[in-house]
Amino acid sequence: MSKAFKAGWMCGLTMLCAVGTASAESFVVDDIRVEGLDRISPGAIFNYLPISVGDSVDDKRSRDAVRALFKTGLFKDVRLERDGDVLVVIVQERETISDITFEGNKAIKTEDLTKGLKDVGFAKGEVFNESKLDKVLQELKRQYFANGKYGVRIEHEVIPVDDKTVEVAFTISEGEAARIKQINIIGNEAFTDEQIRDNFKLNTPTWISWFTKDDQYSKQKLSGDLEILRSLYQDNGYLNFSVDSTQVSITPDKKDVYLTINVTEGDKFVVGDVKLAGTLIVKPDDLFKFVITRKGMTFSRKDLTATSKLITDRLGDEGYAFANVNAIPEIDAKSRVAGITYFVDPGQRVYVRRVNFFGNAKTRDEVLRREMRQLEGGWISTAKVERSKTRLRRLGFFEDVNVETPAVAGSTDQVDVNFTVKERPSGNLMLGLGFSQSAGIIFNTNVQQDNFLGSGKSVSFAFANSEINQVFRVGYMNPYWTVDGVARGFDFTYQKTDAGNTNIIRYNTKTLSGGMNFGVPITEYHFINAGLSYESTEINTNPLFLDPIIFDFLRREGNSYNLIRFSTAFTYDTRNSAIFPDRGTLQRIRGEITVPGADLTYYKLNLESRWYMPLARNYILMLRGEMGYGGAYGSTTELPFFENFYAGGPRTVRGYEENSLGPQDIFDRALGGNVEVVGGAEVIIPVPFLAEFKSVRLSTFFDAGNVWSADQHVRLADVRMSAGLSGIWMSPFGLLSISVAQPFRDRPEDQIQRFQFNFGTQF
């Protein structure tokens, strides 16, 4: 030590020594100098140092200062020295962590392990403190224990990168996950063990547990199952139900887990008087329409929550976007009755200052704004904001749509409504190749600009080629031809059809058509469509392969027709999605007629209905039905055979070959008919392990239907039926649909096809 520091102090990692006399004299600090810093700022030292300029320093204060700096964990070594009246703080910084690596982790992602370590202060860029390693290892083991990996072994290595940084590498041997040997529920009487465990995510080993992993213990899954258990009881009247304790026992070899859940059921309660209290902005009679809980019903927490939400949404429609509705049970333990009071606090009515759009780099602002149901200057309506969001999604121009309602700074009753969109490419060139059992190999090309120049208009060109159809189509659609939302479009099509490659009678057609169509919105969910088109059709056949009925029609009417067709449709659509909906209704009535004076005069009517309703545990019930009828008028005596309805196949009655049902000609080929009745029911089930994939749908189904000709009576005995399993995947390469069906009530002449699939076609 130099002579300049002859009366100073020196502090090491483990002790503080007085230099000079045994009890050095104190001094008043005139200045503080810090030496040895590299990454840490001097300001950080001054924040932690309990000594300031002007303080008197002695042995005790020096020791306290050293301890304070060591306690930060930032330094390997700290010394205090005196240079005259200047206090010199000399430090040696700890290394920082340049990287953290994991090897051998499969059950837990690296990102999740890293996040867990970050929560305990061990992360890339942080100061490395070896004393933290025990805590770090415990955190890693905790994550593995929570996933049932009790036999996990973790080794670590600290690798110096340079003088200032280190890399920490963890090598993990996960071992086998502990499996649940037994689940015991103690104290249950209202529900059996099997009824309770049926709702659990955790389970004892089954024949598919190797795939589902439901027999592997997880702390998170157990917490979820306990919530399911509470909901089961509290939604069935057991208001005071409680989980008293849970025990998780592990065998010494750490391979088997025994779960014991102790519960107290309590008494079963029914609902007593139901009241509304608080500030009732909306008339009580109106609010009571949204109250699910009624006197005499079994008490249910789920119904209380649903009622609170419905009332909150109703108040939100009146501009009270931040309303609070709390359900307070009033318990009469003796009579086992729970009266319910819903306390309503509407808060302040909120108005919309501006509606803003972000992210629409190509799409014009007016295209988004015309879809808005929430207007500027009016009070906010949660239903209108949500409907506006839905309408933006239905445009098809955006991958994602999000909405926020931030409060306006300096105002207590105003918000902005901000829509953020993520645009998808509006230009689209598709080349497709597919296969259908009925149409064979399908090649299609589609050039489409859905959002032409950001205007919202659509321009398209399509070409498709298969063993049955060759189609060329050019289309244009302006969805807002008028400011009221009236749509207008044009369509020009050339199509060649070889019906002989299907199951129906043999003939070839060439059709050239062009037309104009309009769409008129009546309400938010009601629409009318109307169209007028010109068609020129030519039919080529071989008389040797024709049924006499068809031959007589062609002899009377000829094989070339020019006609003008008028079509109209009325649609009621409340589905929450056009593809793969899970709730809502679609009702559509369609009609078309050729105008008088055409070469053929006929008409067709069609009624279509689909109904989607969510069931328990993510199951969805879908009911569908379709009825069609066609006839002729004027000089035409019957519905042209090429306009007949057909049934059978993936779109109508699965399990039968496509278009094969109904009347047949003398060669046992389908003639079709002028009357069609088809329908069915499906239960759409969650796809195991693919719940996050919205493009996959699996269902069990029941189909029924047939077609009849004009000289036949519609009889229930003629209806064909089938049941089976189907799957649909909207893949990046096109639609893939598969079904396996078992027909019943079939006849010997029916053409059965139990396995059916299509790939690359539209539906």
| The pLDDT value given to residue 759 | 60
Whether domain 270-345 has CATH 3.10.20.310: yes
The DSSP 8-state label assigned to residue 645 in this structure reads: B
* pLDDT tens-digit map of 77-113: 888 888 888 888 888 888 888 888 898 888 888 888 8
What 3-state DSSP class applies to 22? coil
Residues pairing with 528 in the sheet: 520, 570
| The pLDDT value given to residue 443 | 47
Q: Which CATH superfamily is domain 351-423 in?
A: membrane protein fhac (3.10.20.310)
Q: Identify whether the C-beta of residue 753 lies closer than 8 Å to the C-beta of residue 655.
A: yes
CATH architecture of 179-264: Roll (3.10)
Three state DSSP letters for 88-140: EEEEEECCEEEEEEEECCCCCCHHHHHHHHHHCCCCCCCECCHHHHHHHHHHH
Q: Which CATH superfamily is domain 3-93 in?
A: membrane protein fhac (3.10.20.310)
328 vs 315: CA distance, rounded Å = 19
CATH 2.40.160.50 in the chain, residue ranges: 467-759
Amino acid sitting at position 418:
N
Give all strands (DSSP E) within 662-733, no chain letters. 675-685, 696-708, 720-731
257 vs 264: CA distance, rounded Å = 23
| The pLDDT value given to residue 122 | 85
Tell me the H-state helices in 363-512. 365-369, 382-394
Q: Which residue in 350, 328, 345 sits closest to 281, CA to CA?
A: 345
Three state DSSP letters for 741-761: EEEECCCCCCCECCEEEEECC
| The pLDDT value given to residue 15 | 34
73 vs 130: CA distance, rounded Å = 10
| The pLDDT value given to residue 593 | 96
Q: Identify whether the C-beta of residue 37 lies closer than 8 Å to the C-beta of residue 95.
A: no
| The pLDDT value given to residue 427 | 45
CATH architecture of 467-759: Beta Barrel (2.40)
CATH 3.10.20.310 in the chain, residue ranges: 3-93, 96-173, 179-264, 270-345, 351-423
| The pLDDT value given to residue 576 | 73
| The pLDDT value given to residue 433 | 43
Q: Which segments in the chain show pLDDT lower than 70?
A: 1-24, 209-210, 212, 424-451, 454, 464-469, 499-506, 542-546, 578-579, 688-694, 730-735, 758-763
545 vs 505: CA distance, rounded Å = 8
Q: CB-based contacts of 149: which residues, under 8 Å, 6+ apart? A: 107, 174, 175, 176, 177, 178
Q: CB-based contacts of 549: which residues, under 8 Å, 6+ apart? A: 641, 665, 671
User: The domain 96-173: what is its CATH number?
Assistant: 3.10.20.310
State the pTM of this model. Answer: 0.64
* pLDDT tens-digit map of 723-735: 999 988 866 555 6
Cα dist from 362 to 367, 418, 445, 453, whole Å = 11, 18, 25, 7
